[in-house]
Amino acid sequence: MKKNFLLALALGTAMTVTSCDQNNTTASEATTAETTATADQPQAVDNPNVVPTSQETSTENMAVMSFATTEYDFGTIKEGEVVEHTFKFTNTGKSPLVIESASASCGCTAPDWTKTPVAPGEEGEVKVRFDSRNKPGQQSPTVTVRANTEPNIVRVFMKGNVVSSSIPTAGADGPVKLN
């Protein structure tokens, strides 16, 4: 008990001594320190790659990705089937459209897209492949496409129902009872 008390007392004393403000500078030393700190601050650099917050970017000359449809309903399929769909788009903007990346919402979906720049007025595509293995029930995989467009992120969706292949169906002898 005595050891704990002495340890707590020593710890408290050490904290008190180290936490005290030991600022013994005079007013002239403080002014000199402030002047030096102001002079050492870095100046703003004019970087052409960064848009200042006071300026707005012009979107009139940007590429625009216009899809005929952004959603595909594949209906009802059996578990294990693979569904593929191609989403076609047109560049309705005034500059070439470049898709930077396309990422899927899950590992069961794989996107593939036009890798070359799409000129204004031309068409491109995003192919989506959905593997329904081990994915029973309602499904809605999403592919997020990032490009040099306005807006720079566009999403395309697939949806449908995957019927599990492990549920027995009624045969010639009648319905099967599940335990």
Question: Mean pLDDT over residues 89-99, rounded?
Answer: 94
What value does the mean pLDDT take over residues 13-36? 54
Once rounded to an integer, what is the mean pLDDT over residues 134-159? 94
Q: How confident is the model at residue 34 (pLDDT cuts 50, 70, 90)?
A: low
Report the share of the chain in percent with pLDDT over 90. 55
* Structure confidence at residue 150 (pLDDT): 85
Stretch 24-28: mean pLDDT: 51
Cβ proximity of 131 and 90 under 8 Å = no
Per-residue pLDDT tens digits for 2-18: 677 666 767 666 666 56
The structural architecture, per CATH, of the domain 65-162 is: Sandwich (2.60)
DSSP the chain: -HHHHHHHHHHHHHHHHHHS------HHHHHHHHHHHHHHSPPP---TTS--TTS----TTSB-EEES-SEEEEEEEETT-EEEEEEEEEE-SSS-B-EEEEEESSTTEEEEE--S-B-TT-EEEEEEEEE-TT--EEE--EEEEEESBSSSEEEEEEEEEEE-TTS---BTTBPPPP-
- The residue with greater pLDDT, 170 or 21, is 170
pLDDT range class, residue 61, cuts 50, 70, 90? confident
The pLDDT of residue 170 is 59
pLDDT, tens digit (0-9, with 9 covering 90-100), for 100-146? 999 999 999 999 999 999 999 999 999 999 999 999 999 999 999 99
Total Cβ atoms within 10 A of residue 130: 25
Q: Tell me, what's the pLDDT at 43?
A: 59
Q: Is the pLDDT of residue 159 over 90?
A: yes
